[in-house]
């Protein structure tokens, strides 16, 4: 069980950042992960007065405050319309509705959990993370950075016409995923992310040679075999591990299947002309 000695509902990000420089301090998102630990927390930093629990939609991007609940993202009409239900598919399997009403996107992405569904999904999109001191960092870089004492403020997701889909596999409903996959396509460029390997999500392919070959073959209508080959070749590039949920070999096979399904989903969106 954790203990908390002091609590501060901060009035500014500057105040939060300064308080967080002490090793014993902890920024609180929903506190759903923190509550499971044994830390002796000197100062609990509460960001809930800073108006960071909203999703803003502009012409160019969705801008999500760090205190936005996973449930608000799951149910956000604009994001789900634009990404064809991807947010709902990504988040619906995480524990239960009440849990997702409390857990935040800031806490989820800052921690870069090896099992994270949102990390895998947002990595497949054009996402940048806005840190208080560190400024804007592409999620592709942020995913492999070490923890520091900065504050994750907002998440920016570009609206550039990218089609996207998410797939995950769980042994039982509400358990951690055994594997997760994000796929997106911008014209002929494909981006594939694989998470719950069981390690931090990685970008397995991003507009590389395999994407070119897939796009060429799709034009020749040799699609079925081409997609299967693509899914297999991308999966070969990923390092999988074993744990109590699955072996590395099982994960590799799952990866091929989930990439295949997500590519098909993205292609069907393109055919329908849907966003
Ligand atoms: C039982 C259980 C099952 C789960 N299952 C899944 C699952 O299947 N899939 C999945 O993807 N996730 C799962 N999660 C993770 C969950 O979805 C959240 O990611 C997690 O609870 C963290 O979110 P939070 O808002 O509760 O963060 P908190 O617990 O408040 O914080 C987590 C960490 O992030 C830091 N932090 C929080 N906000 C910020 C910020 N703005 N800036 C800097 N640091 C910050 C905190 O100091 C702490 O170190 C599970 C969690 C639990 C407890």
Q: Write out pLDDT tens, residues 74-85.
A: 999 999 999 999
Q: Are 76 and 55 in contact (CB under 8 A)?
A: yes
Half-sphere exposure of 87 (CA within 13 A, CB side): 21
Q: Are 180 and 120 in contact (CB under 8 A)?
A: yes
Residue 215 pLDDT: 87
* Residues 60-78, mean pLDDT to the nearest whole number: 98
* Residues 154-181, mean pLDDT to the nearest whole number: 97
- In this model, does residue 273 exceed pLDDT 60? no
Cα–Cα distance measured from residue 12 to residue 10, given in angstroms and rounded to the nearest whole number: 6
Residue 272 pLDDT: 66
* Residues 123-129, mean pLDDT to the nearest whole number: 98
Over residues 45-55, the pLDDT tens digits come to 999 999 999 99
Residue 271 pLDDT: 73
Query: Measured from the CB, is residue 74 less than 6 Å from ligand 1?
Result: no
Sign of the Cα torsion 78, 82, 84, 90 reads negative
Query: Measured from the CB, is residue 40 less than 6 Å from ligand 1?
Result: no
Q: How far is CA 108 from CA 32, 43, 67, 262, in A?
A: 10, 20, 10, 23
Over residues 88-119, the pLDDT tens digits come to 999 999 999 999 999 999 999 999 999 999 99
* 228 C-beta neighbours (distance < 10 Å), count: 15
Domains of the chain, first to last: 3-46 (no CATH), 55-158 (3.30.465.10), 164-272 (3.30.390.50)
For ligand 1, atom 14, the nearest C-alpha belongs to: 94
* Residues 241-257, mean pLDDT to the nearest whole number: 98
User: Measured from the CA of 32, which atom of ligand 1 is nearest?
Assistant: 26
Sheet with 127-131: list strands edge to edge. 55-57, 61-65, 152-158, 127-131, 135-138
- In this model, does residue 270 exceed pLDDT 90? no
Residue 274 pLDDT: 44
User: Measured from the CA of 175, which atom of ligand 1 is nearest?
Assistant: 8
Query: Measured from the CB, is residue 151 less than 6 Å from ligand 1?
Result: yes
Q: How far is CA 165 from CA 86, 208, 226, in A?
A: 5, 19, 18
Closest residue by Cα to residue 69 from 31, 114, 122: 31
- End-to-end, the C-alpha distance of the chain in Å comes to 45
Cα–Cα distance measured from residue 231 to residue 171, given in angstroms and rounded to the nearest whole number: 22
Residue 221 pLDDT: 67
Residue 220 pLDDT: 77
Burial tier of 80 (Cβ tally within 10 Å: 0-12, 13-18, 19+): middle
Cα–Cα distance measured from residue 237 to residue 203, given in angstroms and rounded to the nearest whole number: 10
Å from CA of 160 to ligand 1 middle: 28
Query: Measured from the CB, is residue 184 less than 6 Å from ligand 1?
Result: no
Ligand 1 pocket test, pick from 18, 39, 103 with the greatest ligand atom count within 8 Å of Cβ, gives 103
* Residues 149-178, mean pLDDT to the nearest whole number: 97
Residue 216 pLDDT: 87
Cα–Cα distance measured from residue 129 to residue 132, given in angstroms and rounded to the nearest whole number: 10
Residue 219 pLDDT: 81
Query: Measured from the CB, is residue 124 less than 6 Å from ligand 1?
Result: no
User: Measured from the CA of 34, which atom of ligand 1 is nearest?
Assistant: 29
Query: Measured from the CB, is residue 189 less than 6 Å from ligand 1?
Result: no
As a whole number, the mean pLDDT across the chain is 95
For 208, the 3-state DSSP assignment is coil
Å from CA of 240 to ligand 1 middle: 23
């Amino acid at each position: 069980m954790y203990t908390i000695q002091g609590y501060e509902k901060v009035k500014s990000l500057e105040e939060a950042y300064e308080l967080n420089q002490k090793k014993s301090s902890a920024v609180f998102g929903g506190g759903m992960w923190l509550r499971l630990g044994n830390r002796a927390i000197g100062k609990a930093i509460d960001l809930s007065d800073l108006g960071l629990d909203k999703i803003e939609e502009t012409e160019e991007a969705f801008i999500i405050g760090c205190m936005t609940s996973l449930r608000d993202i799951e149910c956000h009409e604009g994001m789900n319309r634009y990404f064809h239900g991807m947010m709902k598919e990504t988040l619906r399997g995480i524990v239960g509705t009440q849990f997702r009403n409390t857990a935040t996107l800031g806490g989820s992405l800052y921690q870069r959990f090896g099992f994270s569904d949102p990390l895998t999904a947002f990595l497949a999109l054009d996402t940048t993370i806005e840190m208080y001191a560190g400024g804007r960092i592409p999620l592709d870089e942020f995913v492999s950075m070490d923890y520091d004492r900065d504050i994750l403020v907002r998440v920016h997701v570009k609206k550039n016409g990218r089609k996207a889909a998410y797939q995950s596999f769980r042994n039982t409903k509400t358990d951690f995923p055994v594997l997760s996959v994000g796929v997106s396509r911008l014209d002929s460029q494909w981006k594939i992310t694989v998470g719950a390997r069981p390690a931090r999500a990685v970008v397995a392919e991003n507009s590389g040679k395999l994407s070119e070959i897939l796009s060429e073959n799709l034009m020749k209508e040799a699609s079925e075999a081409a997609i299967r080959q693509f899914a297999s070749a991308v999966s070969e590039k990923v390092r999988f591990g074993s744990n109590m949920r699955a072996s590395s070999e099982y994960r590799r096979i799952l990866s091929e299947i989930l990439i295949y399904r997500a590519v098909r989903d993205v292609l069907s969106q393109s055919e329908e002309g849907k966003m």
